[in-house]
Amino acid sequence: MEVLQVLFINILSVIIGGLIAYRIARWEHDANDSFEGRKNQVLLRENISRIREELRKNLGIVTALSGILNKSKVARTDLLDWGMTYVESISFFTFQHFSSSRLNTCLPTSLERYIFNSYNELDSLSSWYRQAAKGYDFYAGLQGSQEDEASKEYEMIKKKIDQTIHNLESNLKQIEEFKV
């Protein structure tokens, strides 16, 4: 009978010890998850702040580009070339860094959409400007009625820039109002 009591006490001790060890391990795991969650929130806020700053700078670049092209009502190659230096200075570094991190999956969908749309606008403007500038050069190099086409190309460039400014301002406002 005494052997059964010792066996029962040993089995009970193992079960209780296992439950205590499980609770301790679970507590450590929960503490680590909590710490990682707070760390990710801090990193997410910092990256969003960097994205806001980069978008503000890019908006300033596009606004300056608009100012350059509006210096003349007549299409001019030198202004388009000058504007190209601004287009080439549009930055995507922070967005690319953030997109390649694991933090981009932590963004709320609406915030991710505003950020994506903003950078998509910038990329589209950059590509479009290069194409339109080449089109302008082509039409300006031809004689006669092609000058009208060159002027139309120039006006389309200015309209696209104004549209991009409007969209960036709208998206940036939404991004800045968003609390992470």
| Residue 89 near residue 61, CB atoms below 8 Å | yes
Average model confidence (pLDDT) across the chain: 84
CATH number corresponding to 53-177: 1.20.120
Residue 10 has pLDDT above 90, yes or no: no
CA–CA dist 76, 97 (Å, integer) = 37
Specify the pLDDT at position 120: 95
DSSP-assigned letters across all residues of 44-90: HHHHHHHHHHHHHHHHHHHHHHHHHHTT-SS--HHHHHHHHHHHTT-
Distance (Å, whole) CA 108 – CA 170: 18
- Tens digits of residue pLDDT in 149-159: 777 778 888 89
Return the closest-CA partner of residue 62 out of 89, 94, 38: 89
Q: Where are the domains of the chain?
A: 53-177
Averaged over 139-163, what is the pLDDT? 78
pLDDT bin (cut points 50, 70, 90) of residue 161 is very high
Closest by CA position to 69, among listed 92, 93, 86: 86
Q: What is the pLDDT of residues 97-109, one digit of tens each?
A: 988 887 777 788 8
